[in-house]
Amino acid sequence: MGRLFVITLEGSVYSCKHCQTHLALLADIISKSFHCRHGRAYLFDKVVNITVGEKEERMMMTGMHTVVDIFCVGCGSIVGWKYEAAHEKLQKYKEGKFILERFKVLGPDGSNYLVSQEAMVGGSDADDA
């Protein structure tokens, strides 16, 4: 295994809630209107300091997508997923974009997102844009 290089971001940063590794900039949010199993999720144009899992087909609220889970390089925690392909024409804008689950990251002000009761009762990973 090689040496790990971690990118340090400048500005308003979202980071891993477990190890505080920088993941994304507030300025790179495309949409805050996504949802996942633990509540809110944000669509980002760029995310750093991650590794990716295996490609899989996942049925979401907006149709079938090919996705890979994304993991923090600092601690290995799953922090969201990346859209590899969208099968619906109207969803193609998501391809190559990243979802960070708000429950799994710290906000730019260091805040945690608390899971709502409704999110814990239902839901699978789903998007809502």
pLDDT tens track for 83-98? 999 999 999 999 999 9
What is the CB neighbour count within 10 angstroms for residue 84?
A: 16
Structure tokens, 43 = 């669509």
Length of the chain in terms of residues written: 129
- Pairing mode of beta strands 98-101, 105-106: unpaired
Instruction: Report the predicted TM-score, pTM, of the whole model to 2 decimal places.
Output: 0.85
**Rounded Cα gap, residues 4 and 73, in angstroms:** 8
Looking at domain 13-121, its CATH superfamily turns out to be: Peptide methionine sulfoxide reductase. (2.170.150.20)
pLDDT tens track for 89-128? 999 999 999 999 999 999 998 888 765 544 443 334 445 4
Domain edges within the chain: 13-121
Q: What is the dihedral of CA 69, 91, 59, 34, to 10 degrees?
A: 70
